[in-house]
Structure formats: structure tokens, C-alpha cells
Amino acid sequence: MERLIIKGGTRLEGTIPVSGCKNAVLPIAVAAAILGDGVSVLHNVPNLTDVRTLRAVLEGLGATIKLKDSTLYIEPINHLEYEAPYDLVRKMRASIYVLGPLVAKLGKAKVSFPGGCAIGPRPIDLHIRGLEHLGAEVTVEKGYIYAQAERLVGTEMYLTGQYGPSVGATANIMMAATLSQGTTVIRGAACEPHISDLARFLNTMGADIEGIGTSVLTIRGVKQLRGTEYTVISDDIEAGTFIVAGAITRGDVYVKGITPQQIPAISEKIVEAGVELDWDDKGVRVTTPREIKGIDISTAPFPGFPTDMQAQIMGMLCLASGTSIINENVHTDRFIHTAELNRMGADITVDGGKAIINGVPNLSGAPVMASDLRAGAVLVAAGMAASGETVLSRVYHLDRGYESIEKKLNNVGANITRVKD
């Protein structure tokens, strides 16, 4: 097991490059490996544990995959297996993405119930409902989802659940619909930038998807999808994390490789808190000339404030003047990091899906634990701003979604060392 030793009190200064978007590359690689009939080449692929886990899942199904620098070569599957076993799928929830494409391509799939970050209950009823709308017969037995259909048939469906649209279900059903017979209309589709990127990728493979970036996706089924070459968009959440890292350390950083359109709500809230963002066509300069002000935030599906940035911005608000309130509406139990931040001197109270953050003047370093990916990110940011030393354990959560995080941050003035237990 590895830990990060973070020496606090550092000010970040310089350029931090943003890597490719994890949540885009996962479904894109699935589509390339299962739906495509030729080799696909993906550029701007981040080197992350989640990408390696997905690679193992896809190789287990029969694909041949090579990763060189940040380019992924995917040779689709000749003799496709239809089973994605528990041992692989439990490591990462996004493995569920193979379900729809396998049924579309093979007519059947057997996929273990997924694992993933410990951020509360994460049902998959919308994935199942969407496939049933397309005509698949789906059963759940002994921890496995079985789905089958001789040929999926396009239809109209509404794919929103009690917590709003689902990124995963939208991706799964959109992929399955590309090879279905006839036209599928998904209403209540997720509009996250990575969903749009997946749709654009599928279209370069020969799919026919309209309404990209909106909540109504129209997918006209085609007979075949070809291999293609594609550059994955940059990671909005990684960019948001670096913006917070710049602000929380009162630094002067340039976050390179992000557009304001990718992070509208994050930008809005960061600026409302008193941080300055100066955009140009390659990225954004982050400075914090005044004190950070307490603000209120409610997480929501895109274009709302992303749940995946809730922890990081909370870290920044711990050091703001006044009180901030965060309502977590997407993953309502996603507050495990508050206990760790309080151990560093923060003053946060959680009441159901609401966190009340009373700003404090300083945080102090402490031994802390990453409970999930974004919890790990906020603890790194808080550790850089705190006095003294923070020792972060369970770093493997962080490595699932941040490429060379300590290297990128050390390059701009952080003092973070990775040690093995």
C-alpha cells in the first residue's frame, strides 16, 4: 500500500496540464472494442488504474489492446466472450458499460453487478430498464445480470430516475442503440461532456446520433460500426481539481487544456467565491486576490455543479470566510470526506444530504484516509494548504482517476512524496 506525504504551506505557481477525460475514455474504449469492426486508435488517453482495469475487462472478452504513451490501440474482438466476471467488474463500476454493447453485438451478455467508489448506493435499474425498452430480456441472478435479445429494436424511452438522468445508463443504452434495428429516442438523457464525447466518437465509427449535448438523443441504428481514430476530450473534473488546488494554496496557476464550456458551473461557483479566472483559448489562469468567500452549492447533473467536484470545492470552502452550504443531490451519501477534513481542523456538519461548512482560518496536517477518488483529491488539496504534514493513505483511490497527480503538483511547487508502507 502506498501513502502520500504532503508537506503543507506551499503556494502553487506555474502551468498544470490536464489529461484526457477518464469518464469519456472508459465508454469510448468499450465501444471501440465491442461495437467496432476494425482497429481504433484513441489519443489523449490518461494512464490511470481505471483505464488499466477496463483494459483487463476488454481483454478478458477477447480484445487486443496496446497502450503507448497516451495512445490506446484497440483491436476489436474476433471471438467475443459474453461474460464479464465479478473479479474484474467489482473493481470498477464503469465495467457495466460492456452490458449494452455485448447484447447489441452478440445478442447476449452476462455481467457481474459492478463495484466502484464507496459513495453510497448506486443502483443500475435505469441500465436494465433501457435495455428492456430496446427489447432485451434481462434477469438478475446470483450477482450477475443476464441480458439477451436476438436483435435490439429502437424505440422511444425516458431514461431519468429519482436522482435525475444517469450518465452510465445513457452511455450504455446509446451504445446499444447504435446497432439496433430502427430509431431510438432517449429522452431525459445525461448531457455531461463525456456523454457528448462518446456520441461524437460513435458517429466517427459510422453511428447516426443526433441531439448531442442535449437531453434528447436520437439514434438511428446502423448495421456496422468501423474502427476509427479519435482524440478524447480533456478531463473537466481534473481541471476543476487543479483550479481548486491553485485557489486553496493562494497560488497563481495556469490550468492548460480546458474550455469554459466544459466546466460552466464550476467556473461560476469558483468566481462567486472570489477566485479570479482568466480564460484564453488554451486554458485558464487562476489567482485569488481577495479572501475566499463562503458560498452555497447544490450538485446537479450537467450543466449543474458536478457531484464529482463537491469534495474538492468543499476543501476550498473550509478556508473561506463565513458559512457555506453544500446540498448533495446526486449521490446523497457522498460526504465521507467531511470527517477527514474535520480531523484537519475544518468545521463541517452533515445533515442528511446537506453539509454546513463554517470557514476556519487554518487547517493543520494530519494522518487521513481517502475513502473514494474525489475524497482523495480534496485531502491532497487541503494537505497542501494546511500547516505541517498530512499523510494520506489509500492512495489507490486517487490513482484510479488522476494521472501522476503528485508529479503534476510538485512541478508547480507542491511538496508531495509517495512512500510504500
User: Can you tell me which of 52, 108, 122, 226 binds ligand UD1, judged by CB under 6 A?
Assistant: 122
Q: Please give the C-alpha separations between residue 254 and each of 239, 402, 410, in angstroms, as whole numbers.
A: 10, 18, 14
> Which amino acid type is present at position 154?
G
Output 110 or 129, the one with its CB closest to ligand UD1.
Answer: 129
User: Can you tell me which of 10, 19, 23, 44 binds ligand UD1, judged by CB under 6 A?
Assistant: 23
CB of 46 closer than 8 Å to CB of 285: no
Number of C-beta neighbours around residue 4 at 10 A? 23
Instruction: Specify the length of the chain in residues.
Output: 421
Output 51 or 205, the one with its CB closest to ligand UD1.
Answer: 51
Number of C-beta neighbours around residue 278 at 10 A? 10
Output 155 or 387, the one with its CB closest to ligand UD1.
Answer: 155
CB of 412 closer than 8 Å to CB of 256: no
Q: Is 124 in the site for ligand UD1 (CB under 6 A)?
A: yes
Q: From the CB of 49, what's the least distance to ligand UD1, in Å? A: 13
Q: From the CB of 99, what's the least distance to ligand UD1, in Å? A: 11
User: Can you tell me which of 13, 37, 125, 229 binds ligand UD1, judged by CB under 6 A?
Assistant: 125
Distance, CA of 213 to CA of 260 (rounded, Å): 15
Distance, CA of 266 to CA of 285 (rounded, Å): 14
User: Can you tell me which of 3, 55, 91, 93 binds ligand UD1, judged by CB under 6 A?
Assistant: 93
Q: Which stretch binds ligand UD1 (CB under 6 A): 5-13, 166-174, 226-234, 278-286?
A: 166-174
Q: Which of 180, 186, 185 is nearest to 222 (CA)?
A: 180
Sign of the Cα torsion 343, 348, 350, 353 reads negative
Distance, CA of 305 to CA of 297 (rounded, Å): 7
Q: Is 30 in the site for ligand UD1 (CB under 6 A)?
A: no
DSSP structural state of residue 32: I
Size of site (CB under 6 A) for ligand UD1: 22
User: Can you tell me which of 161, 206, 294, 413 binds ligand UD1, judged by CB under 6 A?
Assistant: 161
Q: From the CB of 269, what's the least distance to ligand UD1, in Å? A: 16
Q: Is 91 in the site for ligand UD1 (CB under 6 A)?
A: no
Within residues 328-357, the interface with ligand UD1 by CB under 6 A covers: 330-331
Q: From the CB of 9, what's the least distance to ligand UD1, in Å? A: 31
In the sheet that holds 144-148, the strands lie side by side as 83-84, 108-112, 144-148, 137-141
User: Can you tell me which of 73, 144, 158, 163 binds ligand UD1, judged by CB under 6 A?
Assistant: 163
Output 170 or 184, the one with its CB closest to ligand UD1.
Answer: 170
Sign of the Cα torsion 264, 266, 269, 270 reads negative
Q: Which of 210, 227, 230, 229 is nearest to 219 (CA)?
A: 210
CB of 292 closer than 8 Å to CB of 322: no
Q: Is 307 in the site for ligand UD1 (CB under 6 A)?
A: yes
Q: Which stretch binds ligand UD1 (CB under 6 A): 120-128, 143-151, 355-363, 411-419?
A: 120-128
Q: For this structure, is 117 an active site residue? A: yes
Q: Are strands 64-68 and 71-75 parallel, antiparallel or unpaired?
A: antiparallel
User: Can you tell me which of 197, 235, 236, 308 binds ligand UD1, judged by CB under 6 A?
Assistant: 308
Output 17 or 165, the one with its CB closest to ligand UD1.
Answer: 165
What is the number of H-type helices and E-type strands within the chain?
14, 26
Cis peptide before 303 (omega within 30 of 0): yes
Output 169 or 363, the one with its CB closest to ligand UD1.
Answer: 169
- For 293, the 3-state DSSP assignment is strand
Q: Is 408 in the site for ligand UD1 (CB under 6 A)?
A: no
Q: Which stretch binds ligand UD1 (CB under 6 A): 116-124, 212-220, 265-273, 280-288?
A: 116-124
Q: What residues make contact with ligand UD1 under the rule CB under 6 A? A: 23, 26, 93-94, 122-127, 161, 163, 166-169, 190, 306-308, 330-331
Catalytic residues: 117
